A and B are shown apart, each in its own frame.
Chain A
Amino acid sequence: MLCPGSVAAQQPGPDDLGKQSMEDLAKMTVDSVYGATKFLQKAGDSATSITVITAEEIQKHGYQTLADVLKGVRSFYVINDRNYSYVGVRGLSLPGDYNARILFLLDGHRVNENIFDGAYVGTEFPVDIDLIERIEIIRGPNSSIYGAGAFAAVINIITKRGRDLNALEISADAGSWNSYKTRLSFGNRFDNGLETLLSGTFYNSQGHKELFFPEFDSPVTNNGIAENADGDQAYSMFGDFIYGDFNIHVVGNSRTKHVPTASFGTVFDDPRNETTDARRYVDLQYRHTFGSWETLGRFSYDWYGYHGIYVYDYASAEIPPYTENYDAANGTWLDFQGDVSRVFFKRHKVAFGTEFRKDIRQQQLNYDIQPYYLYFDDHLTARLDALYVQDKYVFYKNMALLVGLRSDWYRIYGNTLSPRAGVHFNPTPNTDFKVNYSSAFRAPNDYEAFYAGNNSNTPNPSLKPERIRSWEVDADRRFGKTYYVSGAGFLNRIDDLILPSLDPLTGNPVYTNSSPVKTKGIEYEVGAKFPGGLEGSISHTLQSTRDVLTGEDLVNSPRQLAKAKLSLPLLQKRLFASAESQYTSRARTVQQTELGGFFLVNLTVFSRKISKRLDLSGGLYNLLNKRYADTGGLEDREVSIPQDGRSFGMKLTFRPYVDSK
C-alpha cells in the first residue's frame, strides 16, 4: 500500500542525514531490506506497476497467508478450490494452473517448482507469514529479466533478518474450524558479524466438519455432504545465515490437505482423498560491490515433492472399499545465477546476467496401491541457459529510455527472446509517467506436456510456449509525503495460451495451445498515509480478457475488482483497528455458467506491545457472512466451490527478551 513505483523513493544520502536533527534521526526507520535484495529487485528500475506490502500492514490487517495479502492488492484476485489457492491478475486466472503464470520469488529465489510451475500461496506457502518483511508485487510481464514464468506478474517476498527479532519470538494462532498454528523463532545479530534467523511453524486445521455440494446430493453420496474432509496440516522451517557478503537460506515445508470436492472423479466423502506438497531448498548468495560494479552470485539446490491419494471406484459398482490411487511427482534442480550492475558514462544504468538451470529430476508417477498396478512412471531431465541485459539510459535530465532483452535457451524448445522497451518521464520529482512494451513467455511444464496419470490425461508433447505481449502506460503522482494517486492502462495479447480442454476421443483433459486472447484494462488507486498512523487506500480495476475468435470472456475473469483499506491508530500507535473490503464482479466458470459478484469485508484489531512483551491481534473475516463461490476446474464435477462464511482468527506473539541488551 506504500508509494507505488519509483516516485522519488530515494534514500537520503549521508549528507542529507547529517543535516537532520537528532530528534528526527531518532524517529527514522531503518531499512530492513538485506542489501542484496535491493539489487535483487532487478526489475525495480524498469518495473511498471508496483505495490509494496509491509510487515506492518500484514499485522494490521491480520493476513494469515500470502493468499489473503494478494486478495487486497490492486488488480489481484484469488480463488480456492478447497485444495489450492490460485492467484489471478489483470483478468488472467485459469483454474488449475497452480499459479504458473506468476513468478514467486523468496528473497530472490524462484519458488515455482519444476513439475507444475506451481507456487502455493495458502497454508502451503514455504514461509510463515510472520517472517515476511515485505512483499514487492510487480504487475505485468517481466521475462526480459526473470525469464520464463514472469508472465502476468512477479511477486518477490522478502524475509526478515535476525536483527529484526529480539532474540526469541513465540507465536500462537487460533481460528475458526479448529485451526491452530504455533511458531518458534530465534533471530540475532552477533558481535562477530554473523546474523541468523531460525524458525519453525506447525499448523493444523480440522476444517469444516460438513461441506455440502449440490452436485453430489443423492443418498448414495451421503446427500452431498462431505464429512471431516477439509483438514489441513502444514509445517515449515526457515533458516537464514548472513555473514559478510554471504547469505545462506535453508527453507523447507510440507503441507497436507484433505480434499472434499471429489476432484478428478474420485469417490465423494471418502476421507482418504488428500494431497501433500513439500518444498525444500538451499540457496547460497554472494554479493559484493567491486568499485562501481555491483555483483551478485547465487547458487541453489531445490527439491519439490508432491503426492496424493485418490480413491477411485473403477468398477462404478458403489461397493467399498474402492481403490486407492497414488499420484506423485518429484523434482530436483540446480540453479546458478550471476548478476552484474554498473553505471556507465553517468547516464546508463546497465544490468546484465546469466542463469543456468539443470533439472536433474522431473518424475511423475502414478499407480494403484492395492491391487498394485503401475500406470505411469516418467523421468525427464532438462536444461536451461539464459542471458539478459538491460539498460536504463537517462538521455535527458528527467527522461529515461529503457531497453532490455533476455534470451532463454531450452534444450527442448530452443531459443526464446523476451524484449522490453520503455520510456520513463519524471516531469517533477513527485510525478512519474511510463510507457512500456514487453514480451514474456511461459514454457509448457512437465505436467501439461507429459502427464498421463492413470489414463486420466492425454499428454501433448508438441505443446509450444505461450507468449504475452503487453503495452502499458503508468502514471503515479505523490502529493507531499501523504497522498498518492496511481493508475495504469494496459493492452495485452496472449498467443498460444496453454489451456486444458476435453479430448473428444477419450474424454480426458488435454492441454493445447489455444486461440489468441486479448486483454484491455485500466486500474487506478488513490491512497494516503498520515504521520499519525492513519492510512487508507482505494483501488479499482476495469478490464476485459477475451478469446479473439469467439469474443467470449475467458473463464474466471471478472471485469471489475475494487479494494478498499483503512487503518486507524488508536491509543498512541499501540492499538490499530483496520478494515478492508473487496468487490469482485461476476465471472464465468469452467462449465460455462456464471458466478455472481460478491463483496467481502474484513475487520482486524491489532495491539502492538499490549504489554512490553506481547502483541495481540484478532480479526473477523467475511464479516457480512456473504455466501459466495469460486469456479472449479475441469477436474471438478462441481460447477462452483462454495467459500467460507464469517470466520475469526487470533494471534498472540510473545518476546521474552525484549529490553535486555
Chain B
Amino acid sequence: MRVQRIVTFALWLLQALTAAAVGGQGDPVDEYKLKAAMLYNLTYFVEWPGSAYPNRHSPIVLCILGEDPLAISLTTSIPEETDDDRPVILRHVQSDKEFAGCHILYISSSQRKTAARIVSSLNGSSILTVGEMAQFAAHGGMIQFSLEDRHVRFDINLDAASRVGLKISSKLLALAQIVKN
C-alpha cells in the first residue's frame, strides 16, 4: 500500500515539474566528427578580406598540414558546399611553400614542434590558422580546439586574426573564449 502511494506521488511529481526546453543534449557524438563539423562551420563566421576571393563562387581552400585524428576526420567528412554555394576544397600541404591560396590552414598536432615557427612564417597572409595542440592560441594560432567537460571548446586569438585582416563574427566570439598572445 505504501509502495503504491510513493509510486503515485513520484509519477505526479514527474508530471508536475516541467523543465525549460533549452534544447537537448541527445546522444554523445564522436569527438573528431564533432570538431570537423565545427571547423567547417567556422567558414560562416569568418570574413576574409576582399582580395581573398576573386568571385562569390570561388571555393574555400582548407589546407591540412601534417596528420592527426582531426586531420583524418576532416578528410572523411568534407561537406559538398557551404551555405552560400561555395565549395570547400581540401588540400594536403607539406611545407610553407604550398600555403599560397589557402584560406584555412589546419596545423596537425604532429607539427607541434614547428607550429610556432609556421604561424610566424605566415606573416601577414590572410590565412585562418586552426589547431588543437596545447598553447596553440597562445603562440599565435587563431583558433584552438579543446575538450572541456565533455564539450568541444574553442579559443580565439582575436589579435592574431585581426592583424591579417580576418573579421570574426561576434556570434562566434560569443561561443568562444578569447585568448591573448
Q: Please report A residues at the B interface, Cβ cutoff 8 Å.
A: 9-12, 14-15, 17-18, 20-33, 163-164, 166, 191-193, 481-482, 528, 530-534, 536, 538, 562, 564, 566, 568, 581, 583, 599, 661
Contact = CB atoms under 8 A, between A and B. Distances in A.
A562 B10 CA distance: 12
Interface in B131-172: 133-135, 137-138, 144, 146-148, 150-153, 155, 171-172
Given A11-B29, A22-B175, A661-B134, A193 B109 contact: yes
A250 to B, nearest CB: 24
A193 B45 CA distance: 30
A402 B127 CA distance: 53
B37 A14 contact: yes
Task: Pick the 6 closest A-B CB pairs, nearest first.
Answer: A532-B19, A14-B77, A530-B19, A31-B28, A17-B37, A30-B31
Interface core residue of B26, B42, B76, B155 (most chain A CB under 10 Å): B26
A31 B31 contact: yes
B9 to A, nearest CB: 9
A532 B20 contact: yes
Given A536-B13, A536-B14, A564 B6 contact: yes
A530 B16 CA distance: 13
Contacts of B13: 536, 566
Contacts of A22: 38, 41-42, 44-45, 171-172, 175
A275 B68 CA distance: 49
A599 B4 CA distance: 12
Given A27-B25, A31-B31, A193 B68 contact: yes
Contacts of B135: 661
A31 B73 CA distance: 15
B24 A531 contact: yes
Main secondary structure of the interface of B (DSSP, over half): mixed
B30 interface: yes
Contact of B14 (A25, A528, A562): A528
B84 interface: no
Given A193-B109, A481-B26, A599-B3, A164 B37 contact: no
Contacts of A20: 37, 41
A191 B112 contact: yes
16 contacts: A11-B29, A14-B77, A17-B29, A17-B77, A22-B172, A28-B25, A28-B26, A29-B150, A30-B152, A31-B29, A32-B150, A531-B20, A531-B21, A531-B24, A534-B17, A599-B2
Nearest to B6: A581
B23 A24 contact: yes
B40 A28 contact: no
Nearest to A583: B3
A423 B69 CA distance: 38
Nearest to A54: B28
Given A17-B29, A22-B38, A531-B25, A30 B14 contact: no
Contacts of B137: 661
Contacts of B42: 22
B176 to A, nearest CB: 9
B107 to A, nearest CB: 11
Nearest to A609: B149
B151 A531 contact: no
A564 B133 contact: no
Contacts of A29: 25, 28-29, 150-151
Nearest to A658: B148
A163 B36 CA distance: 18
Nearest to A562: B3
B91 interface: no
Contact of A566 (B10, B26, B31): B10
B175 A26 contact: yes
A406 B24 CA distance: 41
B89 interface: no
B66 to A, nearest CB: 11
A531 B28 CA distance: 14
Interface core residue of A28, A192, A538 (most chain B CB under 10 Å): A28
B109 A191 contact: yes
A27 B10 contact: no
A385 to B, nearest CB: 36
A27 B22 CA distance: 10
Contact of A30 (B2, B37, B151): B151
